[in-house]
Structure 1
Amino acid sequence: MPLSTLAQATGGRFEAAQIEAGREQFHRTCSQCHGRNMVNAGTTVYDLRKFPTDQAERFHQSVVQGKGNMPSFKDALTPEQLAVLWAYVGSRGGKEN
């Protein structure tokens, strides 16, 4: 399911199970650079707690294509994994759910 469809289907909100699956995926895939629970100084990598919550497609493109020093995860993540990652990032780690 495209991320924009996921966001529309949930009214911009995410279910707790999606966020938790996203948290687990984030910790496997993203936390090494973006910090545990998205907490980092934001000086060498993007602070994902500040990612615009209305830009699901931008998030998707950044992850799939890579951006700056971030490599592409096109062949490493399934559409389902991308969707739950967005649920985690788009909900600010469940803090805005």
Structure 2
Amino acid sequence: MIRFVLCALALTLSGFVRAQSAGTPDAQAVSVPPATPFTAEMVEKGREQFHRTCAQCHGRNMVNSGTTVYDLRKFPTEQRDRFYTSVTNGKGNMPSFKGALEPGAIELLWSYVATRGGKEL
């Protein structure tokens, strides 16, 4: 009887661990739309979205010390998929914006971040 209870407990826990790991940000697939060339208008709309959504943690115009939150001025511009995944699923202390931001809004944010606020347009 004890052996049966231990086996049942082990199976339950292994299912719980699998369910927990399936819910981690890296495990959740994100649909990333095709990239489009950045325009000055996109970057400006991205700046506006950034200040509504991201500036309270990542700093106005992306300026922060980088000690408590990620310094987005250093985000690798070749890692667009990673940006979408982080914004959609959250990462570390950053909350998920899944359902709160449409892919179009995330693309505007990406245009702002990837061009370093329009400096690399």
TM-score of the pair, normalised by structure 1: 0.89
2:90 to 66, 73, 77: 66
| Runs of 4+ residues deviating >3 angstroms | none
Q: Does 1:55 align with 2:85?
A: no
% identity of equivalent residues: 65
Corresponding pairs, count: 91
Contact 1:65–1:73 (Cα < 8 Å) also in 2: yes
Q: Does 1:89 align with 2:119?
A: no
CA distance in structure 2 between the aligned counterparts of 1:68 and 1:79, rounded to whole angstroms: 21
Shift of 1:79: 1.1
* Greater relative CO (CA pairs within 8 A, separation 6+): 1
Q: Which residue matches 2:32?
A: 2
Taking only aligned residues, the RMSD between alpha carbons, in angstroms, comes to 1.3
Q: Does 1:32 align with 2:56?
A: yes
Structure 2, unmatched stretches of 5+, are 1-30
| SS of match in other structure, 1:57 | helix
Shift of 1:75: 1.4
TM-score of the pair, normalised by structure 2: 0.72
Larger Rg: 2
Deviation per CA, 1:24-50: give whole Å up to 9, x if none: 000000000000000000000000000
What residue identity is the alignment partner of 1:2? Answer: V
Structure 1, unmatched stretches of 5+, are none
